[in-house]
């Protein structure tokens, strides 16, 4: 099958927001070449002695965010549309160098090449992420999650996802009912039930994410405790959850603010991540104005995560 490959050259801080932008334009899948993220994983995880550091260094500090679109789109129009959206994003976020290019590809050229870099690693103090195609001998205290991202975003190496997991490890209690909104590969829903939550509802608007999430839930033997749905928050009947993960981007987190209350009860913990530092105060004010109480903040790199109580 033929695809249009859009390549955005940016920096580590803007990479996740640009991924969300490309997915919002109808991408069927994404790939990210981020030497900074790989280097952080190498430095922070004892298992990762496998990488060709010379290859990673060849990319410098730039990040390539690649997205794949059906070849029935006009590549020139699509490229220009993304350039314009990137210019709007640059008003509140550093996206430099912000170069947008395109190429025509056959899916066999790209769909599995990233696997050579994805190896078992410590996600939190308790949880180890193991790619489904890799072998791993766990330590007695390890909680192992088997993960296959497929064409979806979310391997757990990015600060935004890791902060959510670290906060979840701190706040999730046995028996909790969890909502993972914008679930990607269902990595946070899986972490929640492995930490003792009774159930998790994992929701994503992207069909590739839903497919990957369902496969990961099945691979981990958690189909009884985790339900995966395609859709948005308003597609879920109002119900009070104990913990809500929203790991997306600031614009969507702000848009969801008025709706979230219908899914809370006194004591519900709302874990927000994907917030660039420059927009922290805007998000904080919106949730405080909605009547939530700020309980905790965390930052890594250029990103902020927050915990609110209902």
Distance CA 214, CA 149 (A): 11
- Residue closest to 241 by CA, chosen among 257, 225, 262: 262
Radius of gyration of the chain (CA): 19
Distance CA 262, CA 268 (A): 11
pLDDT at residue 117, as a whole number: 61
pLDDT at residue 110, as a whole number: 53
pLDDT at residue 156, as a whole number: 53
Superfamily of chain region 152-309: Vaccinia Virus protein VP39 (3.40.50.150)
**Tokens 């209690």, located at residue:** 173
Q: What is the pTM of this model?
A: 0.69
Q: Is the CATH code 3.30.70.120 the one for domain 2-112?
A: yes
pLDDT at residue 55, as a whole number: 42
Distance CA 279, CA 292 (A): 18
Parts of the chain belonging to CATH 3.30.70.120 = 2-112
Predicted confidence pLDDT, tens digits, the chain (310 residues): 678 999 999 988 888 889 888 988 888 777 777 765 555 544 544 444 444 444 444 445 788 998 888 888 999 999 999 999 999 999 888 999 999 999 888 766 555 665 666 678 888 888 888 887 788 888 888 899 988 765 545 555 578 888 999 999 999 999 999 999 999 889 999 999 999 999 999 999 888 789 889 999 999 999 999 999 999 999 999 999 999 999 988 889 999 999 999 999 999 999 999 898 889 999 999 999 999 999 999 998 788 999 999 9
Distance CA 79, CA 184 (A): 25
pLDDT at residue 171, as a whole number: 95
Distance CA 214, CA 227 (A): 8
**Tokens 């007695």, located at residue:** 140
Parts of the chain belonging to CATH 3.40.50.150 = 152-309
Distance CA 15, CA 185 (A): 18
């Amino acid at each position: 099958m033929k695809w249009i490959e859009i390549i955005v050259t940016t920096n580590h801080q803007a990479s996740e927001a640009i991924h969300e932008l490309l997915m919002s334009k109808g991408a069927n899948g994404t790939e990210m070449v981020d030497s900074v993220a790989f280097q952080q994983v190498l430095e922070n995880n004892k298992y990762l002695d496998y990488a060709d550091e010379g290859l990673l260094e060849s990319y410098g500090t730039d990040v390539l965010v690649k997205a794949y679109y059906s070849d029935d789109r006009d590549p020139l129009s699509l490229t220009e549309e993304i350039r314009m959206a990137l210019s709007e994003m640059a008003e509140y976020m550093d996206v430099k160098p912000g170069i947008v290019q395109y190429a025509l590809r056959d899916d066999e050229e790209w769909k599995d090449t990233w696997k050579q870099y994805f190896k078992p690693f410590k996600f939190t103090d308790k949880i180890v992420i193991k790619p489904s195609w890799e072998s791993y001998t766990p330590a007695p205290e390890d909680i192992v999650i088997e993960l296959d991202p497929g064409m979806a975003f979310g391997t757990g190496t990015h600060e935004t996802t890791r902060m959510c997991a670290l906060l979840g490890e701190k706040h999730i209690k046995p028996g909790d009912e969890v909502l993972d909104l914008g679930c990607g590969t269902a990595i946070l829903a899986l972490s929640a039930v492995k930490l003792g939550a009774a159930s998790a509802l994992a929701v994503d608007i992207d069909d590739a994410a839903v497919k990957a999430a369902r496969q990961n839930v099945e691979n981990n033997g958690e189909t009884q405790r985790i339900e995966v749905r395609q859709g948005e928050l308003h597609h879920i009947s109002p119900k009070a959850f104990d913990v809500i993960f929203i790991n997306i981007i600031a614009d969507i987190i702000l848009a969801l603010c008025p709706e979230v209350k219908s899914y809370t009860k006194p004591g519900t913990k709302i874990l927000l991540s994907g917030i660039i530092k420059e927009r922290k105060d805007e998000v904080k004010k919106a949730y405080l104005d909605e009547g939530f109480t700020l309980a905790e903040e965390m930052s890594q790199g250029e990103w902020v995560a927050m915990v609110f109580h209902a």
